Amino acid sequence: MIAVRDTRDRSAFVKLFDHFAPRLKGFVMRSGVSSHQAEEIVQDVMLTIWRRASTFDPHRAQVSAWIYQIARNRQIDIARKENRPMPEELKEEPGSASDASQILGVEQESVYLKQALAKLAPEQREMIEKAYLGELTHQEISAQTGLALGTVKSRIRLGLERLKHELKDLKP
C-alpha cells in the first residue's frame, strides 16, 4: 500500500488487488448482495483505493481496516441510493467504535482457512474451491471436470470434513 501511495506502483496495486478483491467480495456478499453486484462494489472499492491512496496513513489504521472501511461505506452508499432497508450488519449503532477488530478477525479467519485448504488433498481442494469460491453447483462441477456427480459430492463432503478438522486444530 505504501508503494501505491508514494509512487503509484501499478505492480504493487495488482498484488493488493489480487489479495483483497476475493476477500472483499465475500465480505460484501455476506450482507446479502448478489455476486454480480458484489463484483461491481469490489471494482468500485479498488478504484477508490487507487484514487485515494495518498490519504492512507499507516499510523491511523492497518491497510486491511482502511480497505474494509471503504467497502463498508460503499455498501451503505449503495443501499441508500437504492432506498433499500440497510442490512442489520451494516447499521451502525450511535456512538459505536469502528469495526476494525471485526475486520481483523475476518482477516485472521481467512488465514486459517487458507492454511487448512492447503492441507487438503488436491482433488478435494479443487472441488471445494469450485463449489464455494467459484459458486458452481455440483452438477456444473461434474460437467466441467467430467467426473461423476457422486464423485464430486464425495470429494466435497470428505474435503469439508477434513477442513472442519483442520480448522479446529489451527484456531487458538
Q: Does 112 fall in a domain?
A: no
What is the pLDDT confidence band of residue 88, given thresholds at 50, 70 and 90? Answer: low
Cβ neighbours of 99 (radius 10 Å): 17
Q: How far apart are CA 33 and CA 38, in angstroms?
A: 6
Within-domain flag for 39 = yes
Q: What is the CATH number of the domain that holds 158?
A: 1.10.10.10
The number of domains in the chain is 2
133 in any annotated domain: yes
Q: What percent of the chain has pLDDT over 70?
A: 83
Residues 144 and 88 in one domain: no
Confirm whether pTM is higher than 0.75: no
Residue 37 in this model has a pLDDT that exceeds 90: no
Q: How confident is the model at residue 99 (pLDDT cuts 50, 70, 90)?
A: low
Q: Are residues 95 and 129 in the same domain?
A: no
| 31 & 82 share domain | yes
Query: Over the chain, what is the mean pLDDT?
Result: 82
Same domain, 126 and 95: no
- 3: confidence class by pLDDT, cuts 50, 70, 90: very high
Among 42, 76, 102, identify where a domain stops.
102
35, 135 in Cβ contact below 8 A? Answer: yes
Q: pLDDT for 107-129, tens place per residue?
A: 777 777 888 888 888 999 888 88
Q: Are 12 and 4 in contact (CB under 8 A)?
A: yes
For residue 147, give its domain range: 119-172
